[in-house]
Amino acid sequence: MVMHICMDWRSIQFDWNQARAFLVTAEEGTLSAAARALGMTQPTLGRQVSALEHTLGVQLFDRVGTGLTLTPTGL
């Protein structure tokens, strides 16, 4: 059985910069490396990732020392 969910896409407020921050951080493994790759500061990138986690209500990364690993939700 296939269920079709009708979404009202106009009502969704999504910051694509936060999604990009998440993707590059996941690929690079650290906020510092991701910030360099995107040409922004580490604190700015960290705020974007944190804001995305807050908006979604989930933790996307486990912070381990100076590195990051994806949580099962982040995967």
Contact 45, 31 (CB under 8 A): yes
Structure tokens at 12: 């969704």
What domain range includes position 25?
Answer: 14-70
Counted domains in the chain? 1
Note whether residue 30 is domain-resident. Answer: yes
Mean of the per-residue pLDDT values for the chain? Answer: 89
pTM above 0.85, yes or no: no
CA angle 46, 49, 54 (to 5 degrees): 120
Per-residue confidence (pLDDT) for residue 64, from 0 to 100? 86
Q: Is the pLDDT of residue 71 over 70?
A: yes
CA gap 68, 20 in Å, rounded: 16
Report if residue 46 sits inside a domain.
yes
Residue-wise pLDDT tens digits, 15-51: 899 999 999 999 999 999 999 999 999 999 999 999 9
Phi, psi of 70, rounded to the nearest 5 degrees: -70, 140
Say what the pLDDT of residue 3 is.
61
- The tokens describing 16, both together, are 């694509």
